[in-house]
Structure 1
Amino acid sequence: MENLEETHPIATRERARLDAESIIEAGLRIASKPGTAAVSVRDLGAMLDAAPTAVYRHFRSKEGLMQALLDRLLAMSTAQVTAPTEAWRERITQLCTATLNVFIAYPAIAVEAIVLSTEGPAELDGVEIMLGAYAQTGLEGTELVRHYAALSTYMLSYASGIARAHSISNTLTAEDSTPWWGRTYPVTASSHPYIAALRDELTALSDREIYFLGINELMDSAERAGAQARERAASAEV
């Protein structure tokens, strides 16, 4: 019988080095390249010097691969939340800032955050951070969950959208902000008076500015709701 290691040395080397972690690292390198719209199994195979189908030995499907890659991005984000538990606004701000910056660095993976749940440990860590932060306001139960859901949906979808804008631009750097309004529309004071009057203010806005404005508004709303919950609880005890 032939010795497989002698007749198929490339396949043997592939089995020796190819594992889930090496695939994830390769996916991150691909996603970080400017102009990359997606992480394909073909590109992974080329980078790892392996057959594209070898990826499926370690991930059930392309969706499973993207879940693992997205969870790695979320792990990078949650690792940057270092503020103490009682500093709940700072913790949320750290998480939202890190998520935006990490998504911009890996836009081809970040776009999946709009529709994909990772079902991984980092996603759970992020949920725990947000729930724990909002619990500091006095929110409980259904109200706590509703405010968390609004924050999470806004953060992931908007950060993903900003990352996509960076991915399709050939001039933006990671530190640049994309314009929120985007372009100048041919309107007049008679056809669209408010747009015409506020044209400069609209075109001056950046996506990053609006992203953090929304985060702060959501935190303010949670803080107000938490204060009201505390007042109701205090009144019930009297």
Structure 2
Amino acid sequence: MSTVTKKDRPAKRTRLDRALIVDAGLELAGTPGVTSISVRDLGSRLGADPTAIYRHFQSKDALMGALLDELNGRAVQTVTSPAERWDDRLRELAVATLDLFMRHPAIGAEAMTLTTHGPGELAAIELMLDGFQRCGLDGDELVRHYALLASHVLSLAAGISRARAEHWTDDEGDPWVDAPLLADPRTFPLIAQHSVLLSELRDRDLFLSGVELVIDSAKRAASPT
């Protein structure tokens, strides 16, 4: 009579659910050198057949949307300023979004091509609309300033994340231009004149400056003329 030993038994597969997959996806996206999320690599990390992931997410885009929405939701959760300090709340949301995208660049890089319609994204939109409404805006001006801030935050944070995914440096202030602009001053006099200043620009500083410009614009639009 033969007996089945523990060694002979098939390895037990991980029981998957959406939350477990999302957590593993965030860990994978935060691994240095990972420039994109592979369903195969995600399955290996989970100890599961990659095809099992598609039982919970209909497509790769659906999976990436869930990961991005989780980051959006976490960014909203970091906002602690009271509602009346609407400008500080917008700053906190913007900075948290950038930081989370930079820590998970394989996800953050997709921010301008994916619309999640999930609870995290909706919470971020609501927070921004509420902030500009408390500033005194309504109607077209309210919506326009929301769109300006959202576009700036998502596009620049996604671009910074894409660069971070490719290079994985610890520097939070990566140069805006990756190499000095060497230009013939006879043909490009202004570039030659400002080449040093251009080389000193940093992504994070430009990101924060853009956020301040939108907030200042909202304050001016809300002020009576």
Q: What's the TM-score bracket when you normalise by the shorter of the two chains?
A: over 0.9
Give secondary structure in 1 for the equivalent of 2:135.
coil
Task: Give 4+ residue runs of structure 1 displaced > 3 Å after superposition.
Answer: 7-10
Asked whether the equivalents of residues 43 and 50 of structure 2 are also in contact (C-alpha less than 8 Å), the reply is: yes
- The 2-side partners of 1:120 and 1:83 are apart by 24
Equivalent position to 2:220, from 219, 224, 229: 224
Matched, 1:30 2:33: no
Instruction: Indicate how the Cα distance of structure 1 residues 199 and 50 shifts in structure 2: closer, same or farther if over 3 A, else same.
Output: same
Report what 2:135 is aligned to: 137
Q: Any residues of structure 2 matched to 1:171-210 within 5 Å, and which?
A: 172-173=169-170, 175-210=171-206
Structure 1 vs Structure 2 CA RMSD = 1.7
Structure 1 portions without partners, runs of 5+ = 1-6, 232-238
Gaps of 5+ in 2: 1-7
Number of equivalenced pairs: 219
After TM superposition, give the deviation of residue 176 of structure 1 in Å. Answer: 2.4
Alpha-carbon distance in structure 1 between the residues aligned to 2:187 and 2:65: 47
- Following superposition of structure 1 onto structure 2, how do residues 93-172 of structure 1 map, counting pairs within 5 Å? 93-170=91-168, 172=169
Q: Scaled by the length of structure 1, what TM-score is found?
A: 0.87
Higher helix proportion (structure 1 or 2): 1
Partners of 1:92 and 1:130 within 8 A in 2? yes
Residue equivalent to 1:234: none
Structural mapping, 1:64-103, within 5 Å: 64-103=62-101
Per-residue displacement from partner, 1:166-221 (whole Å, max 9, x unpaired)? 11114x11x52110122112213221111111111110110001111111011111
The CA distance in 1 between the partners of 2:153 and 2:173, in whole Å, is: 16
Q: Distance in 2 between matches of 1:138 and 1:90?
A: 15
* Superposition deviation, residue 95 in structure 1: 0.4
Q: Does residue 44 in structure 1 map to residue 38 in structure 2? A: no
Alpha-carbon distance, 1:8 to partner? 8.4
CA-to-partner distance for each residue in 1:47-67, whole Å, 9 max, x for gaps? 111111100111111111111
TM-score, normalising length: structure 2: 0.92
1:41-87 per-residue CA deviation (whole Å, 9 max, x = no partner) reads: 10111111111110011111111111110011111111111101111
